[in-house]
A and B are shown apart, each in its own frame.
Chain A
Amino acid sequence: MRGWLIPVVLLAAAIALPFVVPTYYVQFVSKAFIMGILAMALNLAVGHGGLVSLCHAAFFGLAGYVLALLSPGYDPASLLLTLPAAMLAAAAVALIIGALALRTRGVYFIMVTLAFGEMLFFLFHDTGIAGGSDGAYVNAKPEIAIAGHQLLDLASPMAFYFVVLFFLIATIAVLTMLVRSPFGHALAAARDNERRARSLGFPIYRIRLIAFVISGAIAGLAGYFAAAQFGFVAPQMLGWHLSATVLVMVLIGGLRSVTGPLIGALVLIVLEEVLKASTDYWKLIEGLIIIVIVLALPGGVRQLWPMIVGARADGPSPRQAAPPVAESRHG
């Protein structure tokens, strides 16, 4: 029963939150949830697939640009049209990048994804698409409207928060289903021993490509709402700096569970907020704290939880932390 209790309490707290805190914090938590979605998406590739990708910011940023480009001037765009378009664009690019990058392994995979991510960065930075290096505005936030009646307007911070919360829960549900399914187990098997998985009959390349595309599409979901929230897109959204930051969130939260990276994202974003307010040298302190967390808790901050209550984590075989790069054990 305790397994149900914690998520229910957390969900109740998340629903109650916007009614008890000022608007600034509603927006702050929305932003943290969006980054949590991005980190969980990345972890499908990194933690479950053993594929360390440094181009997930490109999927994130690309989806943001799709919203900016599809927004009609100063009128709100239709959420039901632009969100699927943004996710499809991210998935299509993930399919192309994945199809080529997945022919490589280990550190070469990291480098190929980094190179593709930077290509997309410079595509938006150096050409005139959507304002070049200056970026572009999303002047009106997307809405859901039927026959002129506005059903949902994301301009309200409260409505925006609940839409993001809905997609956060949907992401957790989809990823949990995937990880526990035969597909998820095959993906984890390929991570742990590619050669054995292939000789059993699993089509490794196809499995990884599917996971990479799903991961990219969910990263696009996060990027869409990030662009909608800030009302602005810039090439930095696609850059490797953001990819690396999200990877840090994944490592802080732990690779072996679906929701670990969400916790990693919340920890990192709250940490930044607190440190920024208290010292000018916040980046230095933040770096030190991250190093301590990674060294002391190789399985992520979730490791603290069993130490406190003696509960067990979810996901297949989360028994020990191990290097995420594929082919680490067998030649």
Chain B
Amino acid sequence: MASTASNIALRATGLHKHFGGLRAVADVSIDVHVGEIHAVIGPNGAGKSTLINLLSGELFANDGAIMLDAADVTRLPPDRRARHGLGRAYQKTTIFPRFTVHENVRLAAQARSPAPLRMFGSVRSDTNVHDLTAQAIARVGLTAQTQIVASDLSHGEQRQLEIAMVLATDPRIILLDEPLAGMGQAEARGIIDLISSLKVGRAVLLVEHDMDAVFELADRLTVMHDGCVIASGSPREVRTHPAVRSAYLGDHGDAS
């Protein structure tokens, strides 16, 4: 797990966020490396979702800095961060429900194309966008469903679609917020395999409650509690960390 500064795709340092008097995130620093899945765990209210929103730009930090590769994106809005190579999937599935699977993914590919807001010519005419779309759909295994309207997909398929949309923007770093939430065993298996394949050539930050999935997927773990990082390291280091055992993992760490 040797890592140099050059393959750090996302680096956040000293992030603070409070809502009025409520401290949501306090002095959080995190590095996400290319080729790795970095999982953030912690009990409800630990600040994981706030952290993801700070990283994606939906919230601005009160203090601290966020770098995407060499670019300082601390003050950039979400669309500008996306153009810097950041993609995200939401906890609640967030797609365009009235568009077909193909149209959903094509919009994502279009967003990353050189002329995303061209005012003439059909959306179908860009072969580059078309190829990216087809690749991303094939990657998540939705090729048979391309012409189905997104709202008619099953919950698991909608999550697959969301990941296809993230892939179609060709991101260097992917933020996944509880991708397994509300999913059955069989559906979850497919998504876990998909997530583990995402890290090739990319950095993945994963927030997830399913501990079995986290320990299967994560190359690096950060544990949050009350808005602070209480431990960070390899899954083995974190599992045996005394503060973690008392604060969060409980008996789960012994059992597995």
Q: A residues engaging B (CB < 8 A)? A: 177-178, 180-186, 189, 192-193, 195-204, 206-207, 210, 316-317, 319-320, 322, 329-330
Contacts and interface: CB of A to CB of B under 8 A. Distances in A.
B75 interface: no
B116 A196 contact: no
A322 B122 CA distance: 24
A182 B116 contact: yes
B169 A200 contact: yes
Contacts of A202: 79, 111, 116-117
B98 A181 contact: no
Interface in B78-127: 78-80, 82-83, 87-88, 90, 92, 94-100, 103, 106-108, 110-113, 115-123, 126
Contact of A181 (B58, B88, B123): B123
Given A178-B119, A186-B107, A201 B112 contact: yes
Q: Which of A178, A184, A196, A316 has the most CB of B within 10 A?
A: A196
Contacts of B87: 199
6 contacts: A180-B123, A183-B118, A185-B110, A199-B56, A202-B116, A317-B149
B242 interface: no
Given A193-B96, A196-B165, A199-B58, 20 more contacts: A177-B119, A182-B117, A185-B107, A185-B123, A189-B99, A189-B107, A192-B97, A192-B98, A196-B90, A196-B94, A197-B96, A198-B78, A199-B56, A199-B90, A200-B82, A201-B169, A317-B98, A317-B99, A322-B98, A330-B94
A196 B120 contact: no
A200 B149 contact: no
Nearest to B82: A201
Contacts of B111: 186, 197, 200-202
Residue from A195, A199, A206 having most chain B Cβ neighbours under 10 A: A199
A168 B113 CA distance: 33
